[in-house]
Amino acid sequence: MTMTRIKLLFILFLFFIPLIHAAQNESSSSRLYNSSILMEKQRISVGILSYNPLETLEGSRWKLSFKRLNSHPDYIFIPQFLDIEALQKKLNKDELDFVIIDAFSYLKLEEEYGIQHMLTRNELYSKKPFSLEGLSLYTKSNNYNIVRFLDLKDKKIAVLAGNIPISKTFLKQFLFKHGLIIDFNINIEIINEVNQLLNLLDSTKVDAIIAKSGVIEKKFKKQYVLNKMPLPRLINPRQSWQAPFLHSSELIPEWPIAKAWFIENSLANQVASLLLSSPKLMDGQLINVNHGEYNINESADDFLEQYQWSIAQDYNILYTLFSLTKNNQALSQNDHAHLSSQFQTIVVYIIIFFLLVILSLFLRSSRDLNNRLTLSKQSLEREINERQLAQEQALSHHDELAHVTRLSTMGEMASGLAHELNQPLSAIHTYVQGCIRRIDTGQDNLEEIVNALKLTTQQADRAAGIIRRLRSFVRKEQTHKTYSDINNIIHEVLSFLDSQLKNNNIKIRLQLQDKLAPVLVDIIQIEQVLVNLLKNASESLINVNGPGITISTKLVRDDAIELCIIDNGHGISKDKLKRIFNPFFTTKNSGLGMGLSISKSIIEAHDGKLYATNNTIQGARFCLTLPLISQNNVLEGRSGNNNE
């Protein structure tokens, strides 16, 4: 029993296997079929210009066109209602395959994105297709201020753009063509709804309204007649067999559908075929226009559809209009650009001119300055040379003069010197006579004779010393400075004048400071100064009781040595005190008046000073200072002035 049941179940299982398989196959194939439809239907994006952000395909005038397009087995046509900026963005990214747009905007996109128009939309009036459209400008029937386009200057205009829609570009181009945008200040207000537009005109909130030709007329038929509203007046009315309504503007082609640059012709052809496969129109007739009265025979309900498509219109008129406005715009922009570039050029030229003027002035002034500098440098060099020459001449004169005065001094001192020489010579004579006498008398005490001869030699040396000093004093030599002890110089000069001073009974008192630093001096010149001062002092002591001269030296301010020669003579009167250093000033009969003048210039040449005062009680005081120059400084100075 159990076995039989199992066999039965097995047979049943075998029987159902093909059924299960078939069912499985069927379900998978149906899934495949559905997905293949979705997979195979390629999405085609169609951009439609619209200024109504809420616009959808349902209820739109493009509904029938898309119904026809979407009858294609392989493609799904998806409408995208976009404003002009959005359209441009998508075209830029190649996200749109086809575009439906007004003719003016098309030209712009053709130029920018290479779209190509395929068909032109036809609007149906009285069952007759019209592929051209115009714009109409209306004002209030009783407003006679506006009878021409030019009267729109400074006026307020409302424009219908939405349901129709008329693009801003179209309007701008249209107005521009009539010279209104660039020449006049026109306030343009974009209105989306016809009633709103008409109310604005009725309430005189605007001076004029613009809409696609026919729109107001249809509204008039439906509302104006019923409401007995006054008719708006058409400005610049034109009539053409190509358009059903009177119009103010030129006629331009209706909206085209265009393909993107990358869409192949085969697809474009299929799209065109689908759109052209509209049902044929019934016979219709033009709308009668009779002196501003509108008579529309048909209502929208009579239309099979509002729009149809026909082969692409001739766009020449549009190209001409577009290029005209573009050229005008470009011209106007060029004019501005030209003017601004001209202005810029002029400004640049002016700046360059001023820069050149400033540069030339600067160059000229710098050249003048340079010339003046060169001239002043040359004159300065000349002056320096002249001064150097004069200084050298003065020095040589000074040396000459010093030499002459030394000779003259020697002349004056001749008697004193003779007396001084006489002493050693007499001594020599005495010693030599003594030696001869001893030799003659046969005294053979050689020791005494040798002593006498030694004394003779000493006296001869003394005489030779006097002669040497004399010679060196009157010798004509170039200035030769050495570091010398000022006290030694004083002693030397005193030995020189010793006899003269003694002859005049002048008592010499020395107040010399010990261990004074050596001074850098020309010894002979300093000796000459001291001789002059001592001679003057001794001459002032004539007929003075207890004549005396004090010679002092001391260190002053740590950087100079002061030497003073103070006599107790008759002194110097106040008026003479101012003049005694002048050359040739003398109060002596045989005086030259050059001693003090030369002495002062000698001391000043040693960077020192020589000055005279009267003592408080009696006599005059002549002091000189000599700077202490350290030997290091001199060495540094020499190494730093090798050229000197």
Footprint of ligand ADP on residues 369-388 (CB under 6 A)?
A: none
Nearest distance in Å: CB 575, ligand ADP: 11
Return the closest-CA partner of residue 551 out of 513, 582, 524.
513
Reduce the DSSP state of residue 121 to 3 states and report it.
strand
> For ligand ADP, which is the closer residue by CB, 244 or 595?
595
CB of 535 to ligand ADP, least distance (A): 7
| β-sheet with 187-191: strand ranges across | 187-191, 156-160, 208-212, 135-139, 233-235
The only residue of 79, 424, 595, 608 in contact with ligand ADP, by rule CB under 6 A: 595
For 356-380, letters b (16+ CB in 10 Å) and e give eeeeeeeeeeeeeeeeeeeeeeeee
Spatial contact of 613 and 562, defined as CB atoms under 8 Å apart: no
**Span from 137-145, 352-360, 425-433, 581-589 in contact with ligand ADP (CB under 6 A):** 581-589
Question: Is 524 in contact with 566 (CB distance < 8 Å)?
Answer: no
587 is a contact residue toward ligand ADP (CB under 6 A): yes
586-604 b/e (C-beta count within 10 Å ≥ 16 → b): eeeeeebebbbbbbbbbbe
Is 551 an interacting residue with respect to ligand ADP (CB under 6 A)?
A: no
How many angstroms separate the CA atoms of 484 and 499, rounded? Answer: 25
Identify which of residues 100 and 624 has a Cβ nearer to ligand ADP in the complex.
624
Please tell me the distance from the alpha carbon of residue 527 to that of residue 505, in angstroms, as a whole number.
22
Q: Residue 561: exposed, middle, or buried by beta-carbon count in 10 A (0-12, 13-18, 19+)? A: buried
Residues binding ligand ADP: what is the number (CB under 6 A)?
Answer: 21
Pairing assessment for the beta strands 156-160 and 208-212 based on DSSP bridges? parallel
Binding ligand ADP (rule: CB under 6 A), the pick from 403, 593, 611, 623 is: 593
Is the Cβ of residue 140 or residue 621 nearer to ligand ADP in the bound state?
A: 621
Residue closer to ligand ADP by CB (options 31, 588) is 588
The residue whose Cβ lies closest to ligand ADP is 595
Please select the residue that binds ligand ADP; options are 383, 588, 633, 638, rule is CB under 6 A: 588
Q: Is 498 helix (H, G, I), strand (E, B) or coil?
A: helix
620 contacts ligand ADP (rule: CB under 6 A): yes
CB of 285 within 8 A of CB of 319?
Answer: no
The piece of 14-22, 146-154, 337-345, 569-577 that touches ligand ADP (CB under 6 A) is: 569-577
Q: By C-beta, is 118 or 592 nearer to ligand ADP?
A: 592
Residue 524 Cβ vs ligand ADP, minimum distance, rounded to whole Å: 18
- The single residue among 540, 553, 601, 625 that binds ligand ADP, judged by CB under 6 A, is 540
Query: Which span sits near ligand ADP by CB under 6 A: 197-205, 307-315, 591-599, 632-640?
Result: 591-599
Contact pick of 485, 591, 609, 627 for ligand ADP (by CB under 6 A)? 591
Binding residue for ligand ADP (CB under 6 A) from 216, 272, 580, 602? 580
* Contact status: 572 vs ligand ADP (CB under 6 A): yes
**Helix, strand, or coil (residue 189):** strand
Crossing angle (nearest 10°) for helices 486-503 and 414-440: 80
Site string for ligand ADP, 494-533 (x = CB under 6 A): --------------------------------------x-
Mask of contacts with ligand ADP, 596-615, x by CB under 6 A? xx------------------
**CB of 191 closer than 8 Å to CB of 52:** no
**Among the residue ranges 448-456, 468-476, 519-527, 566-574, the one whose residues contact ligand ADP (CB under 6 A):** 566-574
Please answer whether residues 213 and 245 qualify as being in contact, where contact means their C-beta atoms are separated by less than 8 angstroms.
Answer: yes
Phi (first) and psi of residue 615, to 5 degrees: -70, 160
- Residue 430 burial by Cβ neighbours in a 10 Å radius (0-12, 13-18, 19+): middle
Among residues 69, 489, 524, 592, which is the contact residue for ligand ADP, using CB under 6 A? 592
Nearest distance from C-beta of residue 597 to ligand ADP, angstroms: 6
Q: Under the criterion CB under 6 A, does residue 211 sit at the interface with ligand ADP?
A: no
User: Least separation, in Å, of the C-beta of 632 and ligand ADP?
Assistant: 37
Rounded least distance, CB 519 to ligand ADP, Å: 23
Cα–Cα nearest to 252, from 124, 135, 128: 135
> 318: closest CA among 326, 330, 309?
326
| Rounded-to-integer distance, Cα 632 and Cα 143, Å | 115
550 lines the binding site for ligand ADP (CB under 6 A): no
Does position 548 interact with ligand ADP (CB under 6 A)? The reply is no
Q: Which residues bind ligand ADP (CB under 6 A)?
A: 532, 536-537, 540, 567, 569, 571-572, 580, 585-588, 591-597, 620
